[in-house]
Structure 1
Amino acid sequence: MLDALRNIFRIPELKKRVLFSLAMLAVYRIGCHIPTPGIDRMALSHFFKQAQGTLLGLFDMFSGGALERLSVFALGIMPYISSSIIFQLLTVVVPAIEKLSKEGESGRKKIIQYTRYGTIVLSIVQGLGIAVGLESMRGPAGELVVPTPGWSFRLMTVLTLTAGTAFIMWLGEQMSERGIGNGISLIIFAGIVVRIPTALGNTWKLLGAGQLSLFVILFIVAFMFAVIAGIVFVERGQRRLPIHYAKRVTGLKTYNAQSSHLPLKVNMAGVIPPIFASSIIMFPATIANFINVPWVQNIAKSLMPGHWAYNVFFVAFIVFFCYFYTAVTFNPVDVAENIKKHGGYIPGIRPGKETSDFMDSVLTKLTFAGAIYISVVCVLPSILIGKFNLPFYFGGTGLLIAIGVGMDTVSQIESHLITRSYEGFMKGVRIRGRR
């Protein structure tokens, strides 16, 4: 495998795609350090240190620290993700959008265009909210984060942040088209992994100060590898429902009997449930940063990572959103109807309603297993930090996204190599889907 990876750059097209993606990611990381005008950086940094465990901390993770510095990319790609999720949910609710989704490539392009418009609208709203919120923030000595508040600052901030999000959206689309992997996912991936050097530096400092022993660090490293291996194993796990197609004649063509399968992933909902759950459970803590009311502060403290109430509500929301999002994205009735139309059936199950009921039963069990798996991974950081004093954040939504994006990117690289019959890569390598 290592020999094959060293020879990736021998294929001109693949080399061009990889270098293009790396160049676009470099542009993104440079933009994360270009500041928005009119901000006191020291006062803002102090405020974000107090906002750990809130929605601001979650958004800052996805933006790769750009929100904490309030750079031109402070909103990150979150408005685009939110707009995509909104239109995906509207596909089930609004008949016109559902009709567009079934029109093939032309309908997909229209939905993407509407998603872009929604991204701009959300960026304007979020940018205005950030600008107004910044004007009320103060540093450790009581100094204003925004020295000269007013509508001039608000308009400048909204324009800057909206333009930054639009540029990131364009970068992601260019990377998907001309690079390797999914551009939007790679941008999020870059924002997450950029914190690894800081985490390693903090661990080294604690080791030098004697607060962590070498044995503990070796145990943590072994545990991290075990968790990553478990995530990879589950993310690639699937239940394959066998489907048989009877011999049929269509016009002058005769189709022989065939056997296939319908793959159902263990984690059908992906990383959407922990993102939704984190957003809801962190909302009181976010409000507490702006409202100094005793009962709001008490609720916010009980919903901070490490508290038992946080873990209980977090797991409950994850399980709920796993079932909800799976029900939205996968319709057993439509799938069973399509199988029936093409003359297919599951052995031992009647086509039609019994097939849809069987798939719904299997999907319910898989979703429960996937929800438990996501819950364990997402609660893991608060347990490691609270009980074992881990010096960095390991696990949670960020780890799921990083591993998922890494697997998808490697899979696309493998596809490029396989289509060119690269024998050195094929020898002794187990590709996903090959036996």
Structure 2
Amino acid sequence: MTRELARRIAFTIGALLLFRFGTHVLLPGLRPGDWLTGGPAAIGAITRLSIICLNLIPYLSAAILVQLVAMAWGRLNSLARSGERGRRRIARYTLILTLLIASFQAYGIATALRDIPNVVPNPDGGFVLTATVSMVGGVFFLVWLSELITRHGIGNGIALILSVNIIVSLPSDIAGIASLLQSGAISSGLVLGHIAFWIATVTIMVVVESARRNVRVDFAGRKIGDRVLPARSAVLPIKINSAGYLVPTTVAPWLWFLPLAVLTYVYGADAPLIESAYKQLKFGAPLHMILGSAAVFVLAFIYTAYVVDPEHTAKSLIRYGGAVPGVVPGEATADQIDRVASLTTVVGAVYLTSVLLIPEVFELYGIGLPYSMIINGGAALIVVCTVLDLRKQVRDLSLTNAGDERR
């Protein structure tokens, strides 16, 4: 292990411990004690309301919204691809939108807490203000901490924080399942079936996330200043799952729940059609599974086209003197890259849709176990991708000398 790698690992561990410490800092104005009623479950729910209870959700929502606007608005898309200066402006827009989303969510939570009897000892206007500011500050603290991890630590800071949230819930889930198994509420066969299922699922995730479809690219020799670069060959790697997980699975429910929310506002929640729609679209319902699968499948193609961007890639190859063997540079190259990416994304979209459906299939057929709400196929995929990224960075840093030279 190199000294640089050890330093980065130590920094990352320290930052994650600081994050976990923040989860135990209660919101100002909430003082659990004898005055808090509602039983152990209610007390546990209240005590989880730390200053970082919003986590990174507002920031991720803002980032997804900005990406959606960039996909639809060419000017913002060009800005995002215009280099470091453009990326800084995009980051600034994302933070402004994060502030708006976090403030809205924090104010709603603080107002709801104030109106619950025996939860806030002094439910005056001061509590709402301090709780809102604390929660918004907690979001920006996590954004800052994740950037520090990415820059000075090892791995992607946002992915690590999300993964830690998932991993820390595992012990309580395992303890709960063991308790139910001892009491006879669930069978040992069901538990063994889930263990085998998750081993197979994680194995498939590792294989798929590590797989690439490589497009060969030949670069002609050229002269840059006093340097002469010889002709060489390289590959353009295209991931099977280029769309990732968060964007398709986050945007998919918006396609029907946003129109449904508008209809609810217009006609009221008691309207028979609205009640029926919510019933048919609840988690685990067949219609929800069908719509969700179709939406994620299509969104995987749309977002892959944005991420890969064959036209931008073809122009970049021309700029650097590269060409796909046997394909005319320019539009023909863009068509070839688009064809390869589309065929590869068919497999990726099926894979991503299957991951999304795991908890719903368990719910539909009643074969699930009492996992926490965040333990599902998506959570497993986030952890797997985080571990693969960590492994890659550790390997790269282990093979790099102090002067950033490969051994």
Question: Shorter-chain TM-score category?
Answer: 0.7 to 0.9
Q: State whether residues 55 and 142 of structure 2, in contact with CA within 8 Å, keep that contact through their aligned partners in structure 1.
A: yes
Corresponding residue for residue 276 of structure 1: 251
In the alignment, what sits opposite 2:80?
Answer: 101
Alpha-carbon spacing, 1:247–1:23, altered in 2? closer, same or farther (3 Å): closer
Match of 1:378 in 2: 356
Return the alpha-carbon distance in structure 2 between the equivalents of residues 66 and 361 of structure 1. Answer: 50
- The answer on 1:404 being equivalent to 2:349 is no
Amino acid at match of 1:234: V
1:205 corresponds, among 151, 173, 179, to 179
Q: Secondary structure at the match of 2:399?
A: helix
**Counterpart position of 1:330:** 308
- Aligned-pair CA distance for 1:273: 0.8
Report deviation, 1:76.
Answer: 0.8
Q: CA deviation at 1:148?
A: 5.8
| Residue 103 of structure 2 corresponds to residue 128 of structure 1 | no
2:354 and 2:42 map into 1 onto residues whose CA distance is 30
For the Cα contact (< 8 Å) 2:359–2:368, is it kept in 1? no
**CA–CA distance in structure 1, aligned partners of residues 225 and 5 of structure 2:** 42
1:282 and 1:132 map into 2 onto residues whose CA distance is 24
CA distance in 2 between partners of 1:375 and 1:103 (Å): 33
2:397 matched to which residue of 1? 416
C-alpha deviation, 1:235, in angstroms: 0.9
Please tell me whether the aligned partners of residues 67 and 73 of structure 1 are also in contact (alpha carbons under 8 angstroms): no
Q: Deviations over 1:208-237 (max 9, x none)?
A: 112334343333212211100001111111
Q: CA deviation at 1:68?
A: 8.2
Match of 1:194 among 168, 174, 194: 168
Taking the aligned partners of 1:255 and 1:28, their CA distance within structure 2 comes to 47
The residue type equivalent to 2:218 in the other structure is H
- Structure 2: distance between partners of 1:33 and 1:42: 20
Instruction: Check 1:16–1:278 CA distance in 2 against 1; reply closer, same or farther (3 A cut).
Output: farther
User: Is contact 1:44–1:69 with CA below 8 Å preserved after alignment?
Assistant: no
Partner of 1:16: 7
Give a deviation string over 1:312-367, Cα, whole Å, max 9, x none: 12112212321222232232111112212333222232221111112112222222
Q: Percent identity between the aligned chains?
A: 30
CA displacement at 1:182 relative to structure 2: 1.3
Which of these residues, 48, 55, 59, is aligned with residue 69 of structure 1?
Answer: 48
Q: Tell me the equivalent position of 1:433.
A: none
For residue 429 of structure 1, what is the aligned residue in structure 2? none
Q: Residue 238 of structure 2 aligns to a residue in which SS? A: strand
Answer yes or no: is the 8 Å Cα contact 1:43–1:145 preserved in 2.
no
Query: Shift of the alpha carbon at 1:250?
Result: 6.0
Note closer, same or farther for the CA distance 1:44–1:377 as it changes in structure 2 (3 Å cut): farther
In the TM superposition, residue 118 of structure 1 has moved relative to its aligned partner by 3.0
Cα distance change of structure 1 residues 312 and 95 upon mapping to structure 2, 3 Å threshold: closer
Aligned CA distance change for structure 1 residues 282 and 258 (closer, same or farther; 3 Å): same
Partner of residue 340, structure 1: 318
- 2:88 is the counterpart of 1:113: no
* Distance (Å, rounded) in 1 between the aligned partners of 2:3 and 2:152: 13
1:174 and 1:85, CA in 2 relative to 1: closer, same or farther beyond 3 A?
same
Alignment-mate amino acid for residue 412 of structure 1 = Q
CA contact (8 A) 1:66 1:73 kept: no
- Whether the 8 Å CA contact 2:114–2:128 is kept in 1: the answer is no
User: TM-score when scaled to structure 1?
Assistant: 0.79
**Alignment partner of 1:392: what SS?**
coil
Q: Residue 293 of structure 1 aligns with which residue?
A: 270
- Could you tell me which residue of structure 1 aligns to residue 23 of structure 2? 32
Give the deviation of 1:311 after TM superposition.
0.9
Residue 262 (structure 1) shift = 0.8
**Which amino acid is 2:248 matched to?**
P
The match for 1:354 among 313, 332, 335 is 332
| Matched position secondary structure for 1:348 | coil
- Mapped partners of 1:294, 1:93: distance in 2: 34
* Equivalent pairs, count: 389
Look up the match of 2:296: 318
Comparing 245-254 with 194-203, greater Cα deviation is found at: 245-254
Residues in 1 aligned to 2:40 and 2:74: alpha-carbon distance in whole angstroms: 46
Q: 1:36 to 1:251 in 2, by over 3 A?
A: closer
Answer whether contact 2:218 2:325 (CA < 8 A) is retained.
Answer: yes
Query: Of 285, 289, 297, which residue of structure 2 is paired with 1:307?
Result: 285
Greater mean alpha carbon deviation, residues 149-158 or residues 199-208: 149-158
SS in structure 2 opposite 1:264? strand
CA deviation after TM superposition for structure 1 residue 267, in Å: 0.6
Match for 2:362: what amino acid?
L
| Distance in 2 between residues matched to 1:211 and 1:264, nearest whole Å | 46
Q: Distance in 2 between the 1:153 and 1:216 partners?
A: 47
Distance 1:385 1:94, change over 3 A: closer
CA distance 1:278–1:406, change in 2 (3 Å): farther
Q: Which runs of 5+ in 1 are unaligned?
A: 1-7, 49-64, 427-435
TM-score, normalised relative to structure 2: 0.83
